Homo-oligomer: A and B are copies of this chain.
Amino acid sequence: MSAAQVARSEWVAAAMGALAEAGYRRGGARSAVVRVLSEQPCALSAVEIGELLARREHEVSRASIYRVLEELERLGLAQRVEVGQGIVRHEAAGPGAGHHDHLLCERCGRLQPFHDERLERAIARLSGGLGMVVSEHEVVIRGDCASCVSVDRN
């Protein structure tokens, strides 16, 4: 099991624990959404989550997906990532989920995670002086990804 997989299974445990502690019971839709989120490298839209679930486990209603995502976000276990096309994407967040930021290709729409220590330090330092209780941050870098640019050259 890779380090990332271990971290992800820790996130599943943490998420289920936090949900239980908040008085939620563990219905099928809820754990299915948690499981799907834990396996993704990057953010998914509610529709994509629904499609994945339909394909790999069993159909879960769109409304339930939205409700579960809302709960997870309220508890700080998931994070909204809003980037392009008016669609909201969601990904695992909080303890065990591993923070990352995002690269968005403006041509193909692909969203990729990345991480940079220097950037994180700059934000941490900055956060101290804002007069605001900072809970999280998000960086989106937009441009044309390598594969789109190389297609262009042909």
A127 within 8 A of B: yes
**Cross-chain contact B132 with A125 (CB below 8 angstroms):** no
Check if B88 sits within 8 Å of A86, measured CB to CB. Answer: yes
A54 within 8 A of B: no
- The residues of B that contact A116 with a CB separation of less than 8 Å are 122, 126
Which of A133, A134, A135 has the largest number of chain B CB atoms within 10 A? A133
Q: Which of A114, A122, A135, A149 is the most central at the interface, judged by chain B CB atoms within 10 Å of its CB?
A: A122
Contact status B118-A132, CB under 8 Å: no
A138 within 8 Å of B (CB atoms): yes
Stretch at the interface among A7-15, A25-33, A34-42, A76-84: A76-84
In the complex where A82-B83, A86-B86, A138-B139 touch, is A125 in contact with B131 (Cβ < 8 A)?
no
Is the C-beta of A103 less than 8 angstroms from some C-beta in chain B?
Answer: yes
